[in-house]
Amino acid sequence: MKGANAKIFISVIVGILVLLGGYLLIDLNVIDFKKDKEPEPTEVIDNDPIGPSIDDVVPISSENETDLNETNETEENETEEDNETTTPVEPPKPDESTSNEPVQNDTNTNTNDKITFSSNSITCYAGGKVYVDITVTADKNVGIDSYSTSNDGVFSIGKYADVKTNNKKKVTERAQITCNATGRANINVVSKNGKKASLSVTVINVPNDKVTLSKTSISCTAGETINITAVVEGYNDPIIKSYTSSNNSVATITKSSTQPKCVGLIKDDKGLDGMSVCMGLDVNCIGQGSATINVESSKGVKAAASVSVSKYLGTVSFEKDSFTCKEGESFVFLVTATSDHPENGIPSVTGVTSGNSSLVAISTPDVQTDCYNCTAYKATCIKAGTATLTATNSFGARASVNVTVNKVDSSITFSPTSISCTAGQTKSVLVKFSPLLLNKYTVADTSVATVSKSSIQTNCAGCISLDINCKKKGSTTLDVSLKNDFSNKLNIIVN
């Protein structure tokens, strides 16, 4: 019985061990199965939400450029075989290339990795930044192991951001290239499976900025403000660094309160992108004299405009744009001096002149005015025609108007109609005239008779009494004329 019990005990123990062994075997297979599965790629989130600014980026365009928002990308035949095998091949030779020409060398022929760039080559300006997308496509272990520059002196490179893709066999990273100095070097890329590729980068000198002004010569009067626009075209962050005046007592320059919208992209003869920026500036004309306005870019390129400021004259004006009258009429008018810039003083009216005083005569009437800074003048219309009146103020401003004088019927009559006297006698004559423009009265032969104004005058408009003083025997005439050139004669006979 004891022997039988021992055999039963041993059988139970063996059975338990068999069960435990099967369980362990199943668990190990599960672990191996999990090890064969490729890990899901971990998406790296770009911590720079802003991305490259337009000031930093020289855009790269190529048929191979990878879109940042690439979605729904699929590849033919991307079904992964669980039991895929790789045919052994001869190990590759070491990369012996020292040239800066673009190369794409595979040092591990045991992989089907493919490395592509968003551009076939890159050219940039020293001091600028450009961006390139690097893509690795692989069946397994997809990823970028490293990328570097072959010459830090020419350019440096670093990761900028991951580019999202729905293709598990493809990884794309955006790299930032900082262009340091002129020359040529390569970007060297290695995939996680050892695939290598290179891309050529050429760094060239930055051309000088171009600075232009909308006006290069400015003429203004003290108190005026003239607006100009400064434009800078350049590469690697062109900006307007400063704007100054050579003589602030003549003219100053300030940034305009309203700015024009004129930022844009430009291209040089190599097709590289640059930028055009502008600024609105106010040239404030202060005092009489000359000055130079200078505008300078951040790279020291300048543009200049000459400014000539004349003395502030204020204004002077007539109450009407023109006047009309008839021969013999007169009228009173006002002239006013004003200032748009009181800080420069207030001018006063200094006078009015007639361009033809034989047509229109100017005088100052004895009248009071109730207007501010104005003066009254009288115009007497003499003869048909047009005369120009010119007014001035104390600062030198001038203004002009025309006065048109219309002709009227004129007459001169005598009473009596002739004079007969003896030597030594004095005879009186009444002269009536129209219009009221008596000019002069004379005797043709003063040896026969003379004329003078009578001491007793009649109270009538357009009348004058004259005394004829008879001197010796003979005949002569009394000549009377008006200012409009009309005249008449009276015969005088001395017995």
Question: What string of pLDDT tens digits covers the 495 residues of the chain?
Answer: 445 555 566 666 656 665 555 544 434 343 343 333 333 333 333 333 323 333 333 333 333 333 333 333 333 333 333 333 333 333 333 333 333 334 444 444 456 889 999 999 999 888 888 999 999 999 899 999 999 999 999 999 999 998 887 788 999 999 999 999 999 999 999 999 999 999 999 999 888 889 999 999 999 988 889 999 999 988 877 889 999 999 999 999 999 998 988 777 777 777 677 888 999 999 999 989 999 999 999 889 999 999 999 988 889 999 999 999 999 999 999 999 998 877 778 899 999 999 999 999 999 988 777 888 899 999 999 999 999 999 999 988 999 999 999 999 999 999 999 999 999 999 999 999 999 999 999 999 999 999 999 998 988 889 999 999 999 999 999 999 999 999 999 999 999
Number of H helices, E strands in the chain: 1, 34
In eight-state DSSP terms, residue 22 is H
3-class DSSP assignment, residue 33: helix
Give the strand pairing for 240-245 and 264-267.
unpaired
b/e per residue 193-202 (b: at least 16 CB within 10 A): bbbbbbbbbb
Instruction: Give me 163's structure tokens.
Output: 């580019």
- Could you tell me which of 434, 413, 402, 463 has the C-alpha nearest to residue 328? 434
pLDDT at 341: 78
- Could you tell me which of 271, 269, 261 has the C-alpha nearest to residue 231? 261
b/e per residue 240-276 (b: at least 16 CB within 10 A): bbebebeeeebbbbeeeeeeeeeeeeeeeeeebbbbe
Answer whether the bond into residue 41 is a cis peptide, omega within 30°.
no
CA atoms within 13 A on the CB side of 163: 26
* Domains located in the chain, CATH noted: 57-67+100-204 (2.60.40.10), 210-310 (2.60.40.1080), 315-406 (2.60.40.1080), 411-494 (2.60.40.10)
CA dihedral 283→287→290→291, nearest 10 degrees, is -40
Residue 253 CB contacts under 8 Å (≥ 6 apart), including other chains: 243, 244, 245, 281, 282, 283, 284, 293
In eight-state DSSP terms, residue 214 is S
b/e per residue 63-84 (b: at least 16 CB within 10 A): eeebeeebeeeeeeeeeeeeee
Helical H segments across 292-432, by residue range: none
Query: Are the C-beta atoms of residues 202 and 122 closer than 8 Å to each other?
Result: yes
Residue 105 CB contacts under 8 Å (≥ 6 apart), including other chains: 92, 95, 97, 196, 197, 198
Alpha carbon distance 452, 428 (integer Å):
10
pLDDT at 236: 76
DSSP element (H, E) containing 178:
strand 170-179
Alpha carbon distance 133, 275 (integer Å):
23
Task: Identify each DSSP E strand in 311-437 by its residue range.
Answer: 315-318, 322-326, 330-338, 349-354, 360-363, 374-381, 385-393, 398-406, 411-415, 418-421, 426-434
Instruction: Give me 371's structure tokens.
Output: 């207007």
- Hunting for tokens 């060297």 — which residue is that? 188
- Sign (positive/negative) of CA torsion 86, 91, 93, 95? positive
pLDDT at 197: 95
**One-letter amino acid for residue 449 of the chain:** A
Residue 328 class from Cβ within 10 Å (0-12 exposed, 13-18 middle, 19+ buried)? buried
Alpha carbon distance 424, 218 (integer Å):
79
pLDDT at 56: 35
CA atoms within 13 A on the CB side of 239: 5
Instruction: Give me 333's structure tokens.
Output: 């008018």
Query: Are the C-beta atoms of residues 380 and 330 closer than 8 Å to each other?
Result: yes
